[in-house]
Amino acid sequence: MTLLPKLAIVLAAFVAILATVVRFAFRERRLASTIAHDDRAGQQASDARILAVIMCGIFGGMLLALLVAWIVFF
């Protein structure tokens, strides 16, 4: 397999990760708007879920960067 199809697969994986993070963040913010303004615990839990997904997306991006380096150099 040449380099172009391998990098196309990695690009598709990156777009999938990005789309998942954005979709979940917007979904969670929409659901968080229904939480009562005086419910601090609910708001903090919603923020924690968003941050957890963003951090998982960052780690997924780091793994994809390692994969690209391995594909290009080996």
Q: What is the pLDDT of residues 38-67, one digit of tens each?
A: 999 999 999 999 999 999 999 999 999 999
The CA distance from 42 to 21, in Å, is 20
CA-based angle 49:55:57, to the nearest 5? 105
Average confidence (pLDDT) over 2-17: 93
The CA distance from 69 to 51, in Å, is 27
Whether the CB-CB separation of 64 and 14 falls below 8 Å is answered with yes
Q: Which domain range does residue 34 map to?
A: 3-73
Whether the CB-CB separation of 29 and 53 falls below 8 Å is answered with no
Q: What is the mean pLDDT of the chain?
A: 94
The structural domain count of the chain equals 1
